[in-house]
Structure 1
Amino acid sequence: MRSGVSLSERSFTLILWLVAVAFAVFLIGLGSLVVGDLPEVEHRYTLEQFLDPGKSQATAAALKEVRRERGDNQQQTDQAQLALDAARSASAAARETFANWLKTRDTTQRVDQDPDLVARTQQLDALKAAERTVEERLEALAQADLDLAQKQSALMAEDSEERAAAQQKLQAAESTQELRVFGYRLAVTLPLLVLAGWLLLKRRNTRNWPFVWGFALAAAFAFFVELVPYLPSYGGYVHYGVGVVVTLVAGRAAINALHAHRERQRIAEARPDEERRTEIATDQALLRLAKKVCPGCERPVDVASPNANFCPHCGIGLFERCPACDHRKSMFERFCSACGSRGGHAALGQA
């Protein structure tokens, strides 16, 4: 795209750059949705998919039964504990009553109360026996709970081993799936990046350049930014590797372009002055002169000096005297800015 100096061209250029940026923004939004939704083409793995159904169900059923039995055992233990507390209370109350009765008997020294002593002693023995029966029942329940706890621990250990093995299979499957999804994303973004590079090389100076630049910006953003959150552990090598290749290709192209430009410049400087001026656009030449560089070789020139009429580097003519008013004017100006007459060299038909 040629550099213009008119206000309208600058305005249109700015508008076209805004179009390029807007086009890139919409493409980036669309690309982010596509890249983010690519995992939907794969089904989600679950841990249960990698468990042995028969073995897993049997272990789960056994654990469920053991937990139920331990629950029943706990209920029986709670009831037996209440019964033991009641038996101990009754036994304690009976012993207290018996102790009071003994004090009374010792005071009165009545022999006729001996049968009562035997009966009361037997009653205490019966209460103690009942208390011991409940204690034995609690001991049995505790032993049963211990056996069930050991069985539950063994089943849980077996279940943990099964799940650990299944977890390893799940991780392997997810890693493979992650590789496939990354391949999908790479298959979408990498060709876009290659296409963007080709468009920049071949179509960046066409009339549709805003869309070329917009597409290139979107493709670069999709590959170097949108792809980052989805990179697997090894994805960085691909990401930066492609970046290195793109940089090498672009750098090599820039180096070749520089050498080609120097060669064209060398050939151009050997051609006649007037022929070279006809190939430089008027607005481009005037813009370069305003920047105090030669329109032909773009090297610095002293345009303020009244005697600097030719470039000291390439020899191209820069200034002349107007044939009508003798005003010093640029050879690239079609008309004299002092009198408005057509210039001699500018009348050669520069574009």
Structure 2
Amino acid sequence: MSKTLRLSEKWFHRGLWLVAFLFAWFLTGLGSTIVGDLPRVEQRQSLEDFMDPQRTPALKESIKTAERAAEEAQAELEQAQLKLQTARANNRAARETFDNWLATRRVTQRAEQDEELLQRTRELDGLRQAERTAFSAVEQQQQAALDARQAQERAQAELRGLQDQARDAYVDAQRAQELRVFGYRLALTLPLLVLAGYLFKKHRKGSSWPFVWGFIFFALFAFFVELVPYLPSYGGYVRYIVGIVLTVIGGRYAIQALQRYLERQKQAEAQPAQTRQREMDYDQAQARMTKNICPGCERTVDMKDGKTDFCPHCGLCLFDHCGHCSTRKNAFARYCFSCGASAKEPVAEPAKATAGLPPQEPEGAAAA
């Protein structure tokens, strides 16, 4: 159709499409903002909302206390282990020194060293006792760390039990909330889609068609982008069922539209060719002619052979002759491309053959 439009009309047409897309873009932005704020009408719930309101905080506090106790016990254990290592090292060094001194005394057999022997022995006993004390401290800290871990594990296990008990109610509440939010989205987008369908059917060719098409684009975006992806799943049943319903509705509409179109074409082809040609839209007819398509029955016709003047399928006149210069032209053209005469002028009668006939005398001469 663009080949039959004036140059300025083409640019105006493109500008109006730009207006339609801009209008759709702004409407889409507004709709996305509104739809994005819809979940705020519902209070967000968590798993804790369905757990024991008295036992849950106590268990969480027990877990935190056990964690702190375990951390402190671990720190004390590290200190105790370091002290144990020091005590063991001191005891080992003192024993080696004592063993060397004792070996020397056996060689010398000096009795005045008996008192020193007793003193060294008491020192070793003290170091051994210090090592034992450090080892006991390590054991105590290990026990404290173990008790803290076990208390933490018991509290966590009980908390998991409460979570398991509340999970079913939480999942049901989430599904109910999703359905409510989806209902809000549906209540917002479905009327837009219905209104878009009405505008498409009644006003898509009116003077305000850019705004009509902009609203249609917005409604389609709101339905297929803002609504369909948020359909509740339930294992896919809901989405597949909705897809089947939409497909059946769309397919039924397409079948009925095809039947109505075929019936209109059948009725149109039953009318006289001159009536059909007179009632046909000029721009649409020109657009189809440029595509080698009959404007009447919309079937393909070879119009470039220079001989086909009528559609072989419906009999519609495609090419005729200018009434002024007899040039073969498009039957839907308003003016002859050769001489510029209007197509409404009557077709010129072919010149009668006068060869071989005697010249006629004027009536006055004959009377004389």
| 8 Å CA contact retained: 1:268, 1:276 | yes
| CA shift in 2, pair 1:167/1:334, >3 Å | closer
5 Å matches for 1:119-158?
Answer: 119-158=119-158
Partner of 1:343: 345
| CA shift in 2, pair 1:281/1:101, >3 Å | closer
Partner of 2:26: 26
Unaligned runs of 5+ in 2: 348-368
Identity of aligned residues (%): 46
| CA shift in 2, pair 1:152/1:289, >3 Å | closer
TM-score, scaled to structure 2: 0.73
| Alpha-carbon distance in structure 1 between the residues aligned to 2:188 and 2:152 | 52
| 8 Å CA contact retained: 2:2, 2:10 | no
Letter in 2 for 1:338: C
5 Å matches for 1:259-338?
Answer: 259-269=262-272, 275-280=275-280, 296-297=296-297, 314=314, 338=339
Partner of 2:182: 182
Letter in 2 for 1:253: Q
TM-score, scaled to structure 1: 0.76
5 Å matches for 1:42-81?
Answer: 42-81=42-81
| Alpha-carbon distance in structure 2 between the residues aligned to 1:71 and 1:293 | 86
Letter in 1 for 2:268: Q
Letter in 2 for 1:34: I
Deviations 1:258-309 (A, max 9, x none): 233134214423xxx6555543456665665666665555556777899876
| 8 Å CA contact retained: 1:224, 1:239 | no
| CA shift in 2, pair 1:315/1:206, >3 Å | same
| CA shift in 2, pair 1:122/1:175, >3 Å | same
Letter in 1 for 2:243: Y
Deviations 1:50-75 (A, max 9, x none): 33232122222323333343344445
Q: Please give the secondary structure, in 2, of the residue aligned with 1:53.
A: coil
| Alpha-carbon distance in structure 2 between the residues aligned to 1:133 and 1:334 | 118
Aligned-pair CA distance for 1:244: 0.6
Aligned-pair CA distance for 1:216: 1.9
| CA shift in 2, pair 1:277/1:344, >3 Å | farther
Deviates further, 285-294 or 215-224: 285-294
Partner of 1:84: 84
Aligned-pair CA distance for 1:200: 1.6
Deviations 1:105-141 (A, max 9, x none): 3233233433443343344334323432333343344
Aligned-pair CA distance for 1:314: 4.9
| CA shift in 2, pair 1:111/1:197, >3 Å | same
Aligned-pair CA distance for 1:251: 0.5
Aligned-pair CA distance for 1:239: 5.2
Deviates further, 198-207 or 21-30: 21-30
| Alpha-carbon distance in structure 2 between the residues aligned to 1:333 and 1:97 | 127
| CA shift in 2, pair 1:206/1:245, >3 Å | farther
Aligned-pair CA distance for 1:321: 6.1
| 8 Å CA contact retained: 2:265, 2:297 | no
| Alpha-carbon distance in structure 1 between the residues aligned to 2:4 and 2:316 | 22
| CA shift in 2, pair 1:31/1:140, >3 Å | closer
Letter in 1 for 2:201: L
Letter in 1 for 2:47: L
1:201 aligns with 2:204: no
Q: RMSD of the TM alignment (CA)?
A: 3.9
Deviations 1:219-253 (A, max 9, x none): 22332244454344245336523531442243033
Q: Pick from 246, 250, 255: which aligns with 1:247?
A: 250
| Alpha-carbon distance in structure 1 between the residues aligned to 2:312 and 2:123 | 136
| CA shift in 2, pair 1:121/1:236, >3 Å | same
| Alpha-carbon distance in structure 1 between the residues aligned to 2:249 and 2:164 | 44
| 8 Å CA contact retained: 2:324, 2:341 | no
Unaligned runs of 5+ in 1: 346-351
| 8 Å CA contact retained: 1:3, 1:283 | no
| 8 Å CA contact retained: 1:5, 1:287 | no
| CA shift in 2, pair 1:217/1:84, >3 Å | closer
